[in-house]
């Protein structure tokens, strides 16, 4: 129930540095208790959004509300948010205890309460035995935990995390991801997370906002982002994807006929009832909705794992065909690189079937390329959208 309440509202927020436009008209609502992740390439403005929320920067235009309060003009110390910095930013001249106690002391909390609260926060991140150490005597992962404890001990409405795990090695990062998720469940507060790691974003978040050059391209659940990207940028940023050029021939109800790579194929428009692959979620670019009519150029996107391959019979004609040019063994899966009749190369991922090794394709074989119906993504070809 509480989840429906907006916790953070950004109203048409933009930010310029000199004449460089870093954020453009960001309009966004984050609910109480939500885990929202900003995902995007370097320099797209992720950190800038967090800094606006924390109060280190002022928006050039627009308003910011946190917990229903307009904080646009409030300094950092009067906002109910706390930040976990990428490089931890622990105070080197203080012990772990004093670091964690800092926020409480600033709010003139009685010493007795501070003691209890600090230890409970340190216990939460399993660092209570290290309370007397200096930050320089801790490992990266331990410093990270202290930084988290230092932020959550203040019981903020929102925890802002700017790539908090990027300095950790792979195994520790995985472990910390799980711990952060647990922590979020225990605390029940809103998490706003920044990363440029797609896997991290998907595994932790309720919703992911994919950013590019200062705009939010798509904001949706991880599965929707992956399966129903609204444009090529999103599709390509979150994992491998094959792109085909095509043209709509005719459209009728739940499906359409299209010419793709010179072959006539049937594309599904069923799916979630608002245009199939070319669906239009909230905030999606309007160009991707409803503009598909006979003659429109389109792009058909297909994840490698959604590609279905069949051995082509020698006399077979029609449909998309190609031949295997390379296979890459990946352990659980095997990647097949296929050269289409038109010369285009695509990637297909097959699961390894230990019981039927003969079912695997080998280099040189001709195959028919298909897909699970409805899993293809159809986007209008906007021309300029090439990366």
Partner 1 sequence: MKRMVKAVYLGTVYLFLYLPLAVLTIYSFNDAKHVVTWKGFTTRWYVKLAENSVLLDAAVNSLLLAAASATAATIIGTLAAIALKRYRFTGRTILSTSMYVVMMSPDIVMGISLLMLFVLMGLPLGFTTLFLSHVTFCLPFVTVTVLARLTGLDGNLAEAAMDLGAREFEVFSRIILPLAMPGVLAGWLLSFTLSLDDVIISFFVTGPTFEILPLKIYSMVRLGVKPEVNALCAVMFGVTLAVVSLTQLCFKERK
Ligand X SMILES: Nc1ncnc2c1ncn2[C@@H]1O[C@H](COP(=O)(O)OP(=O)(O)OP(=O)(O)O)[C@@H](O)[C@H]1O
Binding site for ligand X (CB under 6 A): 17, 20, 22, 40, 42-48, 196
Answer whether 348's CB lies under 8 Å from 329's CB: no
**Token representation of residue 141:** 């992962």
Out of Mg ion, ligand X, partner 1, none, which partner does residue 43 contact, by CB within 5 to 8 A per kind? ligand X
Q: Does 321 bind Mg ion (CB under 5 A)?
A: no
- Of residues 55 and 222, the one with the C-beta less far from partner 1: 55
Q: Does 82 bind partner 1 (CB under 8 A)?
A: yes
Instruction: Point out which span in 43-51, 60-68, 245-253, 375-383 binds Mg ion (CB under 5 A).
Output: 43-51
Phi, psi of 147 (to 5 degrees): -60, -40
Q: Does 143 bind partner 1 (CB under 8 A)?
A: no
Answer whether 320's CB lies under 8 Å from 260's CB: yes
- Of residues 103 and 281, the one with the C-beta less far from partner 1: 103
Calpha distance 377→303 (Å, rounded): 9
Q: Does 6 bind partner 1 (CB under 8 A)?
A: no
Out of Mg ion, ligand X, partner 1, none, which partner does residue 89 contact, by CB within 5 to 8 A per kind? partner 1
Q: Does 102 bind partner 1 (CB under 8 A)?
A: yes
Among 144, 154, 218, 231, binds partner 1 (CB under 8 A): 154
Shortest reach from residue 213's CB to ligand X, in Å: 9
Reduced to 3 states, what is the DSSP secondary structure of residue 238? Answer: coil
Out of Mg ion, ligand X, partner 1, none, which partner does residue 242 contact, by CB within 5 to 8 A per kind? none
Answer whether 308's CB lies under 8 Å from 370's CB: yes
Long-range CB contacts (within 8 A, 24+) of 279-282: 279/228, 279/230, 280/230, 281/218, 281/220, 281/224, 281/228, 281/230, 282/219
Task: Give helix then strand counts, H and E, for the chain.
Answer: 8, 20
- Of residues 18 and 253, the one with the C-beta less far from ligand X: 18
Q: Does 375 bind partner 1 (CB under 8 A)?
A: no
- Of residues 86 and 327, the one with the C-beta less far from ligand X: 86
Q: Does 198 bind partner 1 (CB under 8 A)?
A: no
Calpha distance 168→361 (Å, rounded): 39
Answer whether 245's CB lies under 8 Å from 297's CB: yes
Write out the DSSP string of 331-380: SSEEEEEEEETTS-EEEEEEE--TT-GGGS--TT-EEEEEE-TT--EEEE
Q: Does 47 bind Mg ion (CB under 5 A)?
A: yes
- Of residues 47 and 144, the one with the C-beta less far from Mg ion: 47
Phi, psi of 294 (to 5 degrees): -50, 130
Give the up-direction half-sphere exposure of residue 344: CA atoms within 13 A in the CB hemisphere: 13
Out of partner 1, Mg ion, ligand X, none, which partner does residue 196 contact, by CB within 5 to 8 A per kind? ligand X
- Of residues 47 and 143, the one with the C-beta less far from ligand X: 47
Nearest residue (beta carbon) to Mg ion = 47
Shortest reach from residue 201's CB to ligand X, in Å: 12
Q: Does 17 bind partner 1 (CB under 8 A)?
A: no
The footprint of partner 1 on residues 107-126 (CB under 8 A) is: 107
Residues that bind partner 1 (CB under 8 A): 54-56, 75-77, 81-83, 85, 87, 89-93, 102-103, 106-107, 150-151, 154
């Amino acid at each position: 129930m509480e989840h429906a309440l907006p916790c953070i509202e950004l109203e048409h927020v933009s930010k310029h540095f000199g004449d460089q436009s870093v954020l453009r008209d960001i309009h966004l609502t984050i609910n109480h208790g939500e885990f929202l992740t900003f995902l995007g390439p370097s320099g797209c403005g992720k950190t800038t959004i967090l800094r606006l929320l924390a109060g280190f920067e002022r928006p050039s235009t627009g308003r910011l509300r946190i917990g229903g309060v307009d904080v646009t003009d409030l300094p950092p110390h009067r906002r109910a948010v706390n930040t976990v910095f990428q490089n931890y930013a622990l105070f080197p001249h203080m012990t772990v205890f004093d670091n964690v106690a800092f926020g409480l002391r600033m709010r003139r909390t009685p010493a007795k309460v501070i003691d209890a609260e600090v230890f409970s926060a340190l216990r939460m991140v399993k660092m209570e035995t290290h309370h007397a150490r200096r930050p320089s005597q801790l490992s990266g992962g331990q410093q990270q935990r202290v930084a988290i404890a230092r932020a959550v001990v203040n019981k903020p409405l929102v925890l802002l995390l700017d790539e908090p795990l990027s300095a950790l090695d792979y195994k520790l990062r995985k472990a910390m991801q799980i711990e952060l998720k647990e922590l979020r469940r225990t605390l029940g507060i809103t998490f706003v997370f920044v990363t440029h790691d797609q896997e991290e974003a998907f595994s932790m978040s309720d919703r992911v906002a994919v950013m590019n050059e200062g705009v939010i391209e798509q904001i949706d659940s991880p599965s929707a982002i992956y399966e129903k990207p609204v444009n090529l940028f999103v599709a390509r940023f979150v994992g491998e994807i094959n792109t085909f050029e095509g043209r709509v021939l005719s459209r009728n109800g739940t499906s359409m006929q299209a010419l793709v790579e010179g072959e006539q194929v049937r594309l599904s428009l069923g799916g979630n009832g608002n245009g199939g692959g070319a669906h239009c979620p909230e905030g999606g670019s309007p160009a991707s909705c409803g503009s598909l009519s006979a003659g429109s150029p389109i792009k058909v996107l297909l994840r490698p794992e959604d590609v279905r391959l069949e051995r082509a019979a020698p006399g077979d004609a029609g449909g998309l065909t190609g031949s295997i040019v390379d296979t890459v063994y990946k352990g659980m899966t095997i990647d097949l690189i296929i050269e289409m009749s038109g010369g285009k190369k695509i990637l297909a991922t097959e699961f390894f079937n230990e019981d039927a090794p003969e079912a695997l394709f080998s280099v040189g074989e001709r195959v028919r390329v298909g897909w699970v119906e409805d899993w293809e993504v159809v986007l209008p070809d906007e021309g300029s959208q090439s990366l």
